[in-house]
Amino acid sequence: MTAAVFFGCAFIAFGPAFSLFIFTIAKDPLRVIILIAGAFFWLVSLLLSSLVWFIATKATNAQDLTLQKNLLIFGSIFSVILQEVFRFAYYRLLRKANEGLAAISEEDGPALSVREMAYVAGLGFGIMSGAFSMINTLSDSLGPGTVGMFGDSQYYFITSALMTLALTLLHTFWGVVFFEGCERKRWWVIAVVLCLHLMVFSLSLLNPFYVGSILPVYAIMLLMAVWAFFSSGGSLHNITLLWTCRKSNTETSS
Amino acid sequence: MGLESSKWAIIFLVCWLYKNVSCNSVEQKIYVELNNTVPCVRLLNATHQIGCQSSISGDTGVIHVLESEADLEWPLSKGPNPPYMVLLESSLFTRSIMMKMKNESNRVAGVAVVVPNTSPPEFSPHTTCPNENTGVYSDNYGPNLAHCNTTVWNPLGNGLSYEEFDFPVFSLKEDNETEFIKQCYLDHNRAVNGSAPQYPLCAMQLFSHMHAVTNTPTCMRRNDINFSINPEMVCDPLGDYNVWGSIRPYNDTVLGHKENESVVIAAARLDSRAFFWEVSTGAEGSISGFVTLLAAAQALREVTHKAPPTRNILFAFFQGVSSFCLPKQVSLETFDYIGSSRMVYDMENGKFVIDLDNVHSILEIGQVAVHSGTNLFLHSDPVSRSNDTVNDEVENFVKNLQSSTAGLSFLLVEPNVSQPLPPSSLQRFLRAQPIPGIVLADHESAFNNRYYESFYDNAANLNLTYPSDLSPEEQLEFVTETAKSLTDVATVVARALYKQAGGDDSQVNTIKADPKIVTQMLYGFLVSSNNSWFQAVMAPELKNILKPSPPEYYVGVVMSSTPTRLVQYLLANLTGAATNLTQSQCQKPDELPNESRQMYSYLWVQGIVPPNSTQRDSFCVRASVRLTKAVSPAFELGEYASKDYSTWTESRWKFIKARIFLVASRDLEMLTLGVGVAVLFTSLLVTYFISTKADVLFSSTREPASAAY
């Protein structure tokens, strides 16, 4: 659409991920390494699942549109499953590598707790997923035209950015919850994460009915945020503590 | 080892699959590329630039389909979403509308003209007085005849070809793409009950950025700047090749004046004309002329071998070609007579096989196809005829011509009033020397041609019709009425030339042009150049320039164009002789005792396909047909601001394209940006806050009772 839309959508889609990166990850090289490795794992899962989809489409009739759409859905479901599998694989890899990381870190003892690794791994998945969803669309938003010639909604760019934002944060929260579940051997957590991921995917199929797709996805994201907060050691008590701390801080300072 | 080879197998598979990926990207949802568009490009001469220009990143405008001249108010003043891209039907492509848009060009982003399949009643983008500054008539020579004071040759001309526009002008065909554009306009851009149309609006973007500016001396100077290893050229001089042939051959290496040599020149123009770069033809404007001359040359072949005339006859075809992607497909002859001025210059400076003193008289075949009566007219120059010798010669020539029409259905008549020569190459010869000359044309005063130098000067303008049930090969052979009348003209021309060259009077009545050849040439030049006869006369390496449509009259500046090549090979076929030489001998004929490349040119042509075989019967043609460069002398001399010679150049460009898409409102864009900035700042603040308080928030391992800080 123009530079305004390009920057607007870029900020919407990558703003939170960018700020998370700057304030929590950039200072610690170990976290950066885990972030990038996490992104790579997501990328590999996407590559393998897209190979499957690609072979399926090439082996069938390209003119049959419903068949192609069904193949796309099948491919995406396969991709979701594969992403969760790779998340699990990354978890196992990080557990195994913990000793090695301890050796190269500057402090004594485990360099990163599992919780931190979970968060960083989730963010890695989220950033790479967001990049792949959004970069192509962003580059097309730079030109003078907007979507709509063939009946698509003109809010395409904004809603894509909002979906990408939600997906990035969702991947982060899922990472936290997933790793916690694996640590505590609560296998039902993995199943729930997988189901939620599939639900988000199927909601995105409702596009361009954006009210039906974006609002539920954001609702799920808020739910996941709360769950991730609690599973990473937060509690209501801490929040009240925070609040009273601030209050007393302001009292004492004023 | 097994793992490694399977790794390679996977990599190979991935690479192979990747090659076949097809895109279904967002870009396809947004833009629709327009493929069948023809741009208007920029041309420059010594003092001006004409044509159109777009900005370097294209010009975007909201589409508005103009319904009438009064509707111009919307894009020019009333419309709320400037700038506009105005879509015109060709009936509205008039001078007044274009000039109004030119004056308000900050609200007009560009113009797209829809060219219909049927011709309008008249349309000529050239000026009313073509070539008025570069002909022979000026303040020094026939001042009362100059600048069309006595006769306006092209009264229907609107002069649009010579205007400068600072927005792009493209032409569209009347096809599915144009329907799509109009539908997009109807869906999105129509104002309902006087209120402004709602966003998103349908818009078009045209790219046709031209590199050259101001005038020819400026762009030629910029061509010479050598900043880098690959210097960028900004413009090219217009030019191509003239084709000439003669009855008796000349030695190519002996140039300049020839003692006791007297030559009758028969000339015609080869140009193609149209406003936009299209399948343009110039049927009446030029094709009628050179087809007649080619047929006359063929008619003279036999008699000039049997009973050679005293003087030599030289057939000259002055090329007007558009160079590379010329939109105003105007001929060089239109652009100030580039072809003929170059030949005159060469003759004056001893660079041609003869010089002006060897020229006895000149007959030029002008526009001869559209009769409005049964007569054709013989135009001559009254100023040179004020000299008695010249006058006597001209009258003799007229007599020869008039007596050649014996037995035919029309007469040759001189115009009633004393009027100047119409725009013709003969004028350039007269500028150099008063030579007796006649221009043969079908119009007594103003042109009969209603589409002079426009896209509509095509086969329909000549009433060239074929019965509907014929196959292409049968159409090629079918002798149309137009062909018959042009054949008669060719017969007259041939006889007159023979008489003028001092031939034997008893042989004159044996000279007859062949209607079959004329109709085949008309078919090849106006309907489809990829036919069996053209294939047979062309060289094997050139057979790809023949297409199932009329020849394209555009090509790079230094190459010769399709019509030039076609006329060269046709003239060789019609006036030359087939020989027994093999292909290698044809390329090196000097090794043989009786052949000489200096006297003749040797062309290896494809020949016909015999009935029971698939191989062509190729052979070597020996003809006294030559090509000479037709680039204005101004560029040879380096006089880029010359007033005597043509200084036309054409600008270069990087790419030309057009596309349509929807544009969103400014408000939505700003809203998106605002939301983005808000999200970014909020997330920065929240993240900072949470990360500094992280140990408080995520501290389930600590004592619940924490001290208040």
ipTM over 0.85 threshold: yes
Chain B contacts in chain A segment 46-65 (CB below 8 A): 51, 54-55, 58
Q: Is the peptide bond before B155 cis (omega within 30 degrees of 0)?
A: no
CA-based nearest residue in chain B for residue A12: B676
- Domain range for A180 is 2-253
What six digits make up the tokens of A64?
Answer: 């049959």
| Whether residue B18 has pLDDT greater than 50 | no
Confidence of residue B104 (pLDDT cuts 50, 70, 90): confident
Higher pLDDT, A230 or B230: A230
The three-state secondary structure class of B186 is helix
Phi, psi values for residue B649, rounded to 5°: -130, 165
CB atoms B680 and A19 under 8 Å: yes
The pTM of this model reads 0.81
- Mean pLDDT, residues A41-52: 95
Tens of pLDDT, residue by residue over A169-185, are 999 999 999 999 999 99
| Whether residue B704 has pLDDT greater than 60 | no
- Mean pLDDT, residues A219-247: 86
Tens of pLDDT, residue by residue over B606-655, are 988 888 888 888 999 999 999 998 888 888 888 888 888 888 888 888 88
Chain B contacts in chain A segment 82-121 (CB below 8 A): 115
Please name the residue ranges forming H helices in B226-275.
none
B701 touches chain A (CB under 8 A): yes
Q: What share of chain B has pLDDT > 70, as a percent?
A: 90
Residue B331: predicted pLDDT: 45
Nearest to A242 among B31, B693, B701 (CB): B693
What six digits make up the tokens of B661?
Answer: 């898409």
Confidence of residue B556 (pLDDT cuts 50, 70, 90): very low
State the average pLDDT for chain A.
89
CB atoms B679 and A234 under 8 Å: no
d(CA B378, CA B443): 9
Phi, psi values for residue B84, rounded to 5°: -110, 150
Higher pLDDT, B108 or B272: B108
Give how far B235 is from chain A: nearest CA, Å: 30
Residue A242: predicted pLDDT: 79
- Mean pLDDT, residues B575-595: 88
Give B676's contacts in chain A (Cβ within 8 Å).
Answer: 7-12, 15, 161
d(CA B95, CA B69): 11
Name the least confident of B361-375, B421-435, B500-514: B361-375
Size of interface A-B (CB pairs under 8 A): 155
Tens of pLDDT, residue by residue over A59-107, are 888 788 888 889 999 999 999 999 999 999 999 999 888 877 777 766 6
| Whether residue B207 has pLDDT greater than 80 | yes
Number of domains in chain A: 1
Stretch (H or E) spanning B188 = helix B176-188
Buried b (16+ CB within 10 A) or exposed e, B423-449: bbbbbbbbbbebbbbbbbbbbbbbbbb
Residue B279: predicted pLDDT: 45
- Mean pLDDT, residues B124-153: 85
Closest C-alpha to B490, from B270, B268, B682? B268
Tens of pLDDT, residue by residue over B321-362, are 433 333 333 344 556 688 888 999 999 999 999 999 999 999
CB atoms A55 and B17 under 8 Å: yes
d(CA A177, CA A122): 9
Interface test mutation site (partner A, options B17, B669, B671, B693, max chain A beta carbons within 10 A)? B669
What six digits make up the tokens of B349?
Answer: 């400076």
Give the pairing of strands B169-173 and B108-115: parallel
